[in-house]
């Protein structure tokens, strides 16, 4: 099988290498998704089933197996992120107009863009980096069709109409320009596996 015959998540896994812990117990996605009130993208579930936790340079994928940045629950992590966002902008919607590039977003106007899950549409956090960056799905429609939204320092927002695994692979290979993740991958991609549960 050539790399072009592989799905995006298979390509990502081939770059990540073998998991540090083989035969991980299955994750009860029905329970997790029931608690969240939504299905999650299949590529995300595939990665979480296969790996305990990993980082790509400074980006860490949130995984229900382990606490990353104090969370293993995507909805709780999103709620905390929304609280920080609301604090930064102090509930003043006028301030949001100064965020560059958001008005041309295909996600709609700025009020739509800055809603967080469980709002529909809304942003659901799936990754964080140690440069205060956040990586989200824009929850709208079927889970496998959610686009990726990345932000840094609350002022730089990029969106990409693709799956999380395509977004990661294309950034890794340099075929996608994302101003947020590009900072993490500027000096190449370092993969670290965390073999804990």
Confidence of residue 39 (pLDDT cuts 50, 70, 90): very high
Strand-strand pairing, 147-152 and 54-56: unpaired
Find the mean pLDDT for residues 43-49: 93
Confidence of residue 187 (pLDDT cuts 50, 70, 90): confident
Distance linking the first and last C-alpha atoms of the chain: 32
Q: Between residues 100 and 61, which one has the greater pLDDT?
A: 61
Strands (E), the chain: 54-56, 59-61, 122-129, 133-139, 147-152, 156-160, 191-193
- For residue 105, pLDDT over 60 is answered with no
Closest of 60, 65, 55 to residue 21, by C-alpha: 65
CB neighbours of residue 120 within 10 Å: 11
Closest of 149, 175, 168 to residue 160, by C-alpha: 149
Look at the block and give the residue holding tokens 């075929």. 175
What was the pLDDT predicted at 104?
41
- 161/167 Cα distance (integer angstroms): 9
Mean pLDDT score of the chain: 81
Cβ atoms 147, 161 nearer than 8 A = yes
Any idea where the domains of the chain sit in the sequence?
A: 3-193
- 37/34 Cα distance (integer angstroms): 5
- 99/53 Cα distance (integer angstroms): 32
- For residue 94, pLDDT over 90 is answered with no
Q: Between residues 94 and 2, which one has the greater pLDDT?
A: 94
Look at the block and give the residue holding tokens 């902008």. 89
Find the mean pLDDT for residues 42-67: 86
Q: Between residues 155 and 107, which one has the greater pLDDT?
A: 155
What was the pLDDT predicted at 98?
54
Look at the block and give the residue holding tokens 């440069």. 131
What was the pLDDT predicted at 120?
86
- For residue 51, pLDDT over 60 is answered with yes
- For residue 130, pLDDT over 90 is answered with no
What was the pLDDT predicted at 96?
61
Confidence of residue 60 (pLDDT cuts 50, 70, 90): confident
Find the mean pLDDT for residues 93-98: 60
Whole-prediction pTM: 0.86
Range of weakest confidence among 11-20, 58-67, 73-82: 58-67
Find the mean pLDDT for residues 145-167: 88
């Amino acid at each position: 099988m050539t790399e072009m015959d592989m799905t995006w998540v298979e390509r990502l896994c081939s770059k990540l290498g073998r998991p540090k812990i083989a035969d991980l117990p299955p994750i009860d996605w029905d329970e997790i998704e029931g608690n969240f009130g939504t299905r999650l993208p299949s590529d995300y579930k595939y990665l979480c089933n296969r790996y305990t936790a990993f980082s790509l340079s400074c980006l860490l994928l949130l995984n229900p197996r382990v606490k990353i940045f104090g969370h293993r629950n995507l909805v709780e992590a999103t709620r905390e992120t929304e609280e920080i966002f609301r604090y930064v902008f102090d509930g003043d919607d006028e301030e949001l107009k100064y965020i560059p590039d958001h008005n041309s977003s295909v996600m709609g106007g700025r009020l739509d863009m800055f809603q967080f899950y469980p709002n529909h549409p809304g942003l659901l956090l799936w990754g964080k980096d140690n440069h205060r960056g956040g990586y989200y799905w824009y929850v709208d429609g079927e889970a496998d069709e959610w686009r990726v939204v990345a932000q840094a320092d609350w002022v730089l927002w990029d969106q990409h109409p693709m799956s999380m695994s395509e977004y990661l692979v294309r950034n890794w290979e340099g075929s996608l320009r994302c101003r947020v993740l590009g900072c993490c991958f500027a000096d190449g991609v370092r993969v670290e596996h965390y073999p804990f549960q």
